[in-house]
A and B are shown apart, each in its own frame.
Chain A
């Protein structure tokens, strides 16, 4: 069954701890993205990757890090440097890199709560 799997669905951490969110896809899509969603603000791009071993910062990359060692996987680490990490995190893929015509496909998200 093709799709994008984000895990875990809910994640709780203490302030000052790093945490890694998982995103795996079996769609064979080239590009992968991480978005952050806060109420009333739409989605904001954290990082994206168009090809293995390469990634670019989005609009709000500070306090986050990523890796793209395999085409199928694009984990996001929320570091202690991120000042307000509590949010809903969405992973997305795009069939082709360098394409604005091809739509994004989304996972079901991870809700991170940091206290």
Chain B
């Protein structure tokens, strides 16, 4: 069965400092992995996706993530946080052995302090 663990429910950083949001997954095959961002009372917006091409994936708004199969991790990073990055972030895994099954992590709330 697939599962996603987001190790921190809340991360707080100062504006201009690096962001690290951690994600570990469990999947029986070669998964696709996604990061989404959600601002309050809004839908989810795709930040980036990994689908078995390059292991370092660049996304929108300066975010990137590295797929590490040996560690079953897909951590999201950004070199310098901006106030507008404050939101909820979701790591998602999808495995073709499970058809249309997209499994969501519980989310990490990112706060950015001035």
Q: Which residues of A are in contact with B by a Cβ distance under 8 Å? A: 4, 6, 9, 31, 33, 40-45, 48, 50, 56, 88, 90, 92, 94, 97-101, 103-109, 111
Asked if B114 CB lies within 8 Å of chain A CBs, one says: no
Q: A103 and B46: CB pair below 8 A? A: yes
Summed over the interface, the residue pairs from A and B with CB atoms below 8 Å come to a total of: 69
The one of B9, B32, B90 in contact with A101, judged by C-beta atoms closer than 8 angstroms, is B32
Interface residues on B, range: 20 to 34
19 contacts across the A-B interface (CB closer than 8 A): A6-B43, A40-B9, A42-B4, A43-B44, A43-B90, A45-B101, A98-B99, A98-B100, A99-B100, A100-B94, A100-B96, A100-B102, A103-B49, A106-B36, A106-B43, A107-B43, A108-B41, A109-B43, A111-B41
With A and B bound together, what is the CA distance between A53 and B71 in angstroms? 42
Nearest-neighbor residue (CB-CB) of B98 within chain A: A100
- Once A40-B106, A100-B32, A101-B32 are accepted as A-B contacts, the answer to whether A90 and B99 lie under 8 Å apart by CB is no
The one of B42, B46, B94, B104 in contact with A109, judged by C-beta atoms closer than 8 angstroms, is B42
Could you mark each residue 78-102 of chain B with 1 if its beta carbon is under 8 Å from any beta carbon of chain A, else 0? 0000000000001010111011111
Could you mark each residue 50-70 of chain B with 1 if its beta carbon is under 8 Å from any beta carbon of chain A, else 0? 010000000000000000000
